[in-house]
Structure 1
Amino acid sequence: MGIRSSHSTKSSIDPLYAFDPEIELTLRRLRRTRNLIVINSRNSDSVIDSNHLYTDNSVACSNIFAEPGEMENNDRTLKELATLDVVYQPWCIQYPQLESAQTYELKSGLIHLLPKFHGLAGGDPHKHLKEFHVVCSTLRPQGISEDYIKMKPFPFSLDGAAKDWLYLQALLFNTWGDMKRTFLEKFFLASRIASIRKEICGIRKHTRETLHEYWERFNKLCATCLHHQINKQLLIQYFYEGLSMMDRSIIDAASGGALMDKTPAAARHLISNMASNTQQFGD
């Protein structure tokens, strides 16, 4: 009775399998299948972990070596990335302050009247400044300073290389004097000053040139370099030495003896009058 009860209890817990005449072969086959499943499972987990680690490392490396600007550009569109950020250089002219009651409008008519300086090798910056001064002085409103009147339209009188020079200027101009001096230093080189000084010192009257034409040529040459640093006495002397012997004798006779006995101002006045007479009545 006790044995039957124990057998009945075990049967209710463990299921009964069909009889297998090759139980050992079946057992080896089941073990081999189980081992393959375990190996494949481990390999799969290893691949997943390695991929996850590679992804994390790639992200970390890209974050380390990425420039700050590149990280910020991640949210920008291709069109926005293709558009360059332009940083403009500050304007080099600081205009004088006007009084509260003062106003000044740069008229288009004034701009059209302005001379143009291109910054070419043969350009005359002194002549340009003179012509620029004439235009500005004719349209100067009452009460407006000269600095403001000239600094405001001056950029419109430049073109080509001269305009590039102004727009790329690193200095800050506060006065018209500073701007004019820097302009002349740029476009009227020291070598040109030396060349003009040499030409003034060695000037000669041409064979078929009248006294008036010679006097005009001499004055124009001096005007091309206002800071030639040759005093008035030497200027008259260089002009006189460039005359022929006959012309010198005529001028000496007109001066009442010798031109060199007169003051520079008186000598200049005499030569100017004689040149005007030559223009009016000929030699």
Structure 2
Amino acid sequence: MRTRNSYFPNNSNVTIPRRRNKGRAPNIVEPELRTIVAPMAERTMEELLRAPTEGYGEAIVLPEINADHFEIKTNLLQLVQANPFYGRESENPHAHINSFKRITSTLRFRNVPNDVIKLMMFPYSLEGAAKTWYEKEPPNSILTWEDLVTKFVNQFFPPSKTTHLKNEISRFTQKFKETFSEAWERFKELLRACPHHGFTELTQVDTFYNGLNKNEQDSLNAAAGGNLLSKTTREALNIIENKSKVRYSRNRSNVSRMNATSSKTDERIDKLADQLSTLVEIVSKKVSHSRSG
């Protein structure tokens, strides 16, 4: 029968560890690891620098450019920034888009579509409320130039404004004491203020003609040799433009004649004043001479 000591040699210095009582061993529970995110105000600078950056990307997604050594020069950006759009009530986003397109249409880079250039440069043309609007747009939400124009126009030229201006155009009426030239310029200004009005040139001519007073309608019909609305759209527009220019040139001629007449009158008054001054001086000398004698 093997004894306990037979496992070890005689005079062994091995210390036999005391046998542990498994029944009394404590149950050790590993602590659950949780990530506690402190509020932004309570985070340290180091934590903020390590904060995730998801959701802070650009709104515009630029397509890949298969061109070598392509970059937008600083002077081109400055050209775009020279006339920025602020998003004010008095500003017209359509006018800004047209101006921006005129500038960027002159830029040509090999293997770089013009729409890509416009997408890259457009954010640099915004300031104030317009820049804030763009920075708040969701990341990767603008994929094409059409997307950008649609969002930009809807933000700063809402449908309600479009409806108002279209009503102003369709209800156009010549004002009291408003000349033909003034009425035509006001009508064209309404069209420019809402370039997406949708009215054809034929509708524009018809609307303007019917908004004039009876005398101006008769004058247009006489210039057309009959009924203005029986002419082609292009012929009718030419007649309206010519009538506007003739009236304007006549008014300007009248003003020029009035200014010329006024100038001649002033010259006569100046000559009479000089003559009177000379006469007074001669009389003064004679009186002085007679007294001294």
Give the shorter-chain TM-score range.
0.5 to 0.7
Distance 1:108 1:78 in 2: 41
Distance 1:78 1:172 in 2: 32
Q: Which residue of 2 aligns with 1:68?
A: 35
Distance 2:179 2:45 in 1: 72
Q: Which amino acid aligns with 1:124?
A: N
Normalized against structure 2, the TM-score is what?
0.65
Offset of residue 250 of structure 1: 0.8
Distance 1:78 1:177 in 2: 43
Offset of residue 140 of structure 1: 4.4
Question: Aligned pair 1:219/2:185, yes or no?
Answer: no
Q: Which residue of 2 aligns with 1:104?
A: 71
Distance 2:45 2:71 in 1: 42
Q: Which residue of 2 aligns with 1:129?
A: 97
Distance 1:150 1:93 in 2: 11
Report sequence identity in percent: 27
CA pair 169-245 structure 1, distance change in 2 beyond 3 A: same
Secondary structure of 2:105's partner? helix
- Which structure has the larger Rg? 1
Compute the RMSD of aligned alpha carbons.
3.1
Question: Aligned pair 1:119/2:87, yes or no?
Answer: yes
How many pairs does the alignment contain? 220
Normalized against structure 1, the TM-score is what?
0.67
Residues 169-180 of structure 1: matches in 2 within 5 Å? 169-170=137-138, 172-180=141-149
Offset of residue 122 of structure 1: 3.5
Offset of residue 235 of structure 1: 1.3
Offset of residue 281 of structure 1: 2.6
Q: Which amino acid aligns with 1:204?
A: T
Q: Which residue of 1 aligns with 2:168?
A: 199
CA pair 201-95 structure 1, distance change in 2 beyond 3 A: same
Offset of residue 79 of structure 1: 5.0
1:94–1:174 contact (8 Å) kept in structure 2: yes
Offset of residue 139 of structure 1: 4.4
Q: Which consecutive residues of structure 2, in runs of 5 or more, have no partner in the other structure?
A: 1-25, 253-293
Offset of residue 214 of structure 1: 2.1
Offset of residue 280 of structure 1: 2.4
CA pair 159-231 structure 1, distance change in 2 beyond 3 A: same
